[in-house]
Chains A and B, each alone.
Chain A
């Protein structure tokens, strides 16, 4: 029983106080009336998995959204109680909860702590007032600082801050300032995302209608390089394309993933298993039994009402399910694993998952890409080169089977 692979649990809270105009996540504003029903549906969905996943241990929990902190302490409690009642949870479990600086208070932080949340991820996005306005955020830079202090005082000792760069007309000074402020707070973890104007969002519409200028990709690249340099000086280890962890101690070695990395996200990048519950949540599971072995990815229906209704009626929730063939699984391992810029794709992990060696399976691709200076490769691992980090897509797509 004990050698069944560990599992991550993702709980999706599809609510926000206000929808940010650049955001294409499955989250909605104005659905307060559905909070309680959704919490109950989430609990019911988890219950469906109690039997099939009996025997597997949850090593990480990630409550994301949306803005989970819009839920009341009581609703949050119901959820966490259900997690522990339904699954076997590891003793050293990492439990992350997302929070927005505008939607928290002392009481809520205390409640989260009491429920066992030991990692907090806050969407700060920027420290510039005009940028926050453009992004349609409900909080100010000051709110973010206050919320951060509050979290620290509530006892959170593992905090991530999210930032977005490459905004329309963003200046290098503005970005540098935001970076400096972020560093001065000394969070354990930083996530920096380059703004992508996603179809269907108001931003997309505004760019097309000329109301705002499209983000400049070259500038975004320059800002990214700026961040890499500055964060390295400040003692942050760049371990994934968009993620940095503060150097914990001398135990953080050069090539491995640092101590303060997000363990839940590591499951994604290492192509391990996770169950996602909630509207539009995604899952990846390998199951075997009776001599059969299947690997699947699926995504739940996205509209909240549909999700709640189907859950109540005991109907299937998946909007799509795909079987992952072995060649595809290997391609995904590369596409995901190479994002871990320090750890890379470890030959031993790959072999354990797929039963073969990546340097054999991908001999040609690896030769070509390392000749092009995009990859480095040794007996232990395959990694993006510094140049490869900037051109990740050009590398990843080489490993995917022809669609």
Chain B
């Protein structure tokens, strides 16, 4: 047991800069996986990750590397680049001593390069910068090296220049890691302390905890204790990740591995918890993770109300594997019993929806996303509101405050004009501009959070030919003239369709929403009026014309099967809609705010 020969590091970078591809090369180089089992972005094992070509979950792999006649145990954690999954990065970093910071040679430093770098520096990790994709025709390794030198003080000529895809200079990355990243500290003789940095639920083995061993040694399968929840567990298996689970007999301080805890209930263990030996518990638990504040909230309802309990189970299990997700019960007049979910952003929300549908086979409805407002009531009380339906009566409201954030946009200088124009349109204010070099600039501005969660990023990309990137952090709350916009379907307000908007935009958004609803809501057997209202004032209306006939005319040659299948399909489609009053509303209506494009 020699901690000197262990290295633990994360790979961090802006989205798509080549983290997972670099991980592939390291896995290949160390022959951790046979050539036959090897595939591109091996660590992106979730079906969704493979489909979207994006890493969503951080994932660890243990590699054995021979260097100058010595054998090293290297634990690598590949992390996501997308801003919505920064909590994954944050947790991975806490299990490491170093971080390899990958920068795309054709794109240079981008918004999440900075964000993830700062997160690593906050944890006092050793940073190993690497310039990737030098094979690209558009690569500018010298310029990018200079940017990194300016940022980190590492001499430009010392930064490895690699192509993860072509496998050029990849070995140098590991050598740097061995030379520069310190081995883990940790006391082998102290009582066991293992940091749970991630979990997942396995239908056979129950809760699986991914751990970084901080102190002590676990040998065999002793009784263990989760220090936060106080639950004891009789583990079924301990092991390392190669990257699939490989049982071992012993895990010791400094190592990264997993514990099949034997726990069946997902509430019995938290991500961030400390696992210790039941027989010889540690006295002090590890600091764990600071709780995360979601940025965006939305209602989640089962399409079929009978599935409520199943949905709750699914959420519990999903949350175990997605520590950034929060939820609590919520009730809607229109949709019945459901949950209020908190997310880091809309991409996160989309992933949660897809995972619920695919991994848990749930059929769900999401309502429009909202940020968390602060409402100061006339009686002096201050309440936090993340759902339009929960907004008090206007007469009880003194004023409303909305969250603002600091937004950092990295863009080539020629797009400064269009970017600032967008910021102003969305009620933002310019704070500063920092020149990264003569061609690129960081625009720092203050802007309401609600203005950037929907559609902002796409619009930014469109205005900068895809070159800009952005990152944001919550700033402060400011008083704002917000109103609740209600949508009435067939003269009944549908609480799940309400949104909170700035008064200046209410009229425009109301019109857009009404015409959108008119498109989405299928014609029914009677005419359905749709109205947008602020308080009692109707600001927009449209009618979904009554359907005049719905009957299959043809029934030819006794092909009853085909006809029946058409009806079955129609029936299934009906089932996926929500009956609100006597009107059938399709799922996508509740999210239609997301597609109210500009103008």
Cβ contacts B379-405/A at 8 Å (1 or 0 each):
000000000000000000000000000
> Contact between A241 and B551 (Cβ–Cβ < 8 Å)?
yes
Complex formed: what's the CA distance from A220 to B567 in Å? 20
Question: Which of B551, B556, B561 is within 8 Å of A390, CB to CB?
Answer: B551
> Contact between A10 and B558 (Cβ–Cβ < 8 Å)?
yes
Known interface pairs A221-B549, A389-B551, A391-B549. Does A332 touch B560 (Cβ–Cβ under 8 Å)? yes
Chain B residues closer than 8 Å to A392, beta-carbon distance: 550-552
Chain A residues closer than 8 Å to B552, beta-carbon distance: 196, 392-393
Q: Is B570 an interface position by the 8 A CB rule?
A: yes
Specify the main secondary structure of chain A where it touches its partner. Answer: mixed
Cβ contacts B557-568/A at 8 Å (1 or 0 each):
111110111011
Chain A residues closer than 8 Å to B138, beta-carbon distance: none
Complex formed: what's the CA distance from A392 to B572 in Å? 17
Complex formed: what's the CA distance from A398 to B571 in Å? 8
A-B contact count (CB 8 A): 100
- Distance to closest chain B CB from A44 (angstroms): 20
Cβ contacts A348-392/B at 8 Å (1 or 0 each):
000000000000000000000000000000000000000001111
Q: Which residue from chain B places its CB closest to the CB of A373 in the assembled complex?
A: B525
- Distance to closest chain B CB from A371 (angstroms): 12
Q: Is A299 an interface position by the 8 A CB rule?
A: yes
Q: Is A242 an interface position by the 8 A CB rule?
A: yes
Chain B residues closer than 8 Å to A189, beta-carbon distance: none
Chain A residues closer than 8 Å to B568, beta-carbon distance: 397, 400, 403
> Contact between B560 and A394 (Cβ–Cβ < 8 Å)?
no
Q: Is B555 an interface position by the 8 A CB rule?
A: yes
Q: Is A224 an interface position by the 8 A CB rule?
A: yes
> Contact between B549 and A220 (Cβ–Cβ < 8 Å)?
yes
Complex formed: what's the CA distance from A276 to B559 in Å? 10
- Distance to closest chain B CB from A179 (angstroms): 16
Q: Is A232 an interface position by the 8 A CB rule?
A: no
Complex formed: what's the CA distance from A248 to B477 in Å? 82
Chain B residues closer than 8 Å to A331, beta-carbon distance: 564
Q: Is A282 an interface position by the 8 A CB rule?
A: yes
Known interface pairs A196-B554, A400-B571, A403-B571. Does A297 touch B548 (Cβ–Cβ under 8 Å)? no
> Contact between A268 and B567 (Cβ–Cβ < 8 Å)?
no
Known interface pairs A396-B567, A400-B568. Does A241 touch B548 (Cβ–Cβ under 8 Å)? no
Known interface pairs A397-B571, A400-B567. Does A322 touch B561 (Cβ–Cβ under 8 Å)? yes
Q: Is B574 an interface position by the 8 A CB rule?
A: yes
Chain A residues closer than 8 Å to B556, beta-carbon distance: 25, 64
Chain A residues closer than 8 Å to B551, beta-carbon distance: 241, 389-393
Question: Which of B545, B547, B558, B564 is within 8 Å of A335, CB to CB?
Answer: B564
Q: Is A217 an interface position by the 8 A CB rule?
A: yes
Cβ contacts A258-284/B at 8 Å (1 or 0 each):
000000010011000010100001111
- Distance to closest chain B CB from A383 (angstroms): 14
| Of A192, A339, A390, A397, most B-chain CB atoms within 10 Å | A397
Chain B residues closer than 8 Å to A390, beta-carbon distance: 548-551
Q: How many residues of B contact A (CB 8 A)?
A: 28
| Of B553, B556, B558, B574, most A-chain CB atoms within 10 Å | B558
Question: Which of B545, B561, B571 is within 8 Å of A282, CB to CB?
Answer: B561
Known interface pairs A390-B550, A391-B549, A391-B551. Does A64 touch B557 (Cβ–Cβ under 8 Å)? yes
Q: Is A186 an interface position by the 8 A CB rule?
A: no
> Contact between A391 and B570 (Cβ–Cβ < 8 Å)?
no
Complex formed: what's the CA distance from A244 to B571 in Å? 29
Complex formed: what's the CA distance from A320 to B565 in Å? 14
- Distance to closest chain A CB from B553 (angstroms): 4
Q: Which residue from chain B places its CB closest to the CB of A389 in the assembled complex?
A: B551
> Contact between B553 and A193 (Cβ–Cβ < 8 Å)?
yes
Q: Is A12 an interface position by the 8 A CB rule?
A: yes
> Contact between B549 and A403 (Cβ–Cβ < 8 Å)?
no
Chain B residues closer than 8 Å to A391, beta-carbon distance: 525, 547, 549-551
Chain B residues closer than 8 Å to A218, beta-carbon distance: 545, 548
> Contact between B570 and A299 (Cβ–Cβ < 8 Å)?
no
Interface residues in B511-567 by Cβ distance below 8 A to A read 525, 545, 547-561, 563-565, 567
Q: Which residue from chain B places its CB closest to the CB of A268 in the assembled complex?
A: B558
Complex formed: what's the CA distance from A218 to B551 in Å? 12
Cβ contacts A219-241/B at 8 Å (1 or 0 each):
01110100000000000000001
Chain A residues closer than 8 Å to B545, beta-carbon distance: 218
Complex formed: what's the CA distance from A193 to B555 in Å? 10
Chain B residues closer than 8 Å to A192, beta-carbon distance: 553
- Distance to closest chain B CB from A194 (angstroms): 4
> Contact between B560 and A297 (Cβ–Cβ < 8 Å)?
yes
Chain B residues closer than 8 Å to A241, beta-carbon distance: 551, 553
Complex formed: what's the CA distance from A274 to B564 in Å? 17
Q: Which residue from chain A places its CB closest to the CB of B566 in the assembled complex?
A: A393
Known interface pairs A335-B567, A400-B571. Does A282 touch B558 (Cβ–Cβ under 8 Å)? yes
Q: Is A58 an interface position by the 8 A CB rule?
A: no
Complex formed: what's the CA distance from A332 to B568 in Å? 11
Q: Is A336 an interface position by the 8 A CB rule?
A: yes
Complex formed: what's the CA distance from A190 to B289 in Å? 77
Q: Which residue from chain B places its CB closest to the CB of A276 in the assembled complex?
A: B558
> Contact between A393 and B554 (Cβ–Cβ < 8 Å)?
no
Complex formed: what's the CA distance from A265 to B569 in Å? 25
Complex formed: what's the CA distance from A291 to B549 in Å? 45
Complex formed: what's the CA distance from A75 to B558 in Å? 24
- Distance to closest chain B CB from A261 (angstroms): 14
Cβ contacts A52-65/B at 8 Å (1 or 0 each):
00000000000010
Chain A residues closer than 8 Å to B525, beta-carbon distance: 391, 394
Q: Which residue from chain B places its CB closest to the CB of A219 in the assembled complex?
A: B548
Known interface pairs A391-B525, A403-B572. Does A282 touch B550 (Cβ–Cβ under 8 Å)? no
Complex formed: what's the CA distance from A276 to B556 in Å? 12
Chain A residues closer than 8 Å to B564, beta-carbon distance: 331-332, 335, 400
- A sample of 22 cross-chain residue pairs with beta-carbon separation below 8 angstroms, ordered by A number, consists of A8-B558, A25-B556, A193-B554, A194-B553, A196-B552, A218-B545, A220-B549, A221-B548, A274-B558, A276-B558, A281-B558, A283-B558, A284-B558, A297-B560, A297-B561, A299-B559, A390-B549, A393-B550, A393-B551, A397-B567, A400-B568, A403-B571
B residues in contact (CB < 8 Å) with A: 525, 545, 547-561, 563-565, 567-572, 574-575
- Besides A217-B548, A390-B550, A400-B564, 8 other A-B contacts (C-beta < 8 A): A64-B556, A194-B553, A217-B549, A282-B558, A284-B558, A391-B549, A397-B574, A402-B575
CB-CB nearest 6 A-B residue pairs: A221-B548, A392-B551, A221-B549, A403-B568, A397-B571, A390-B549
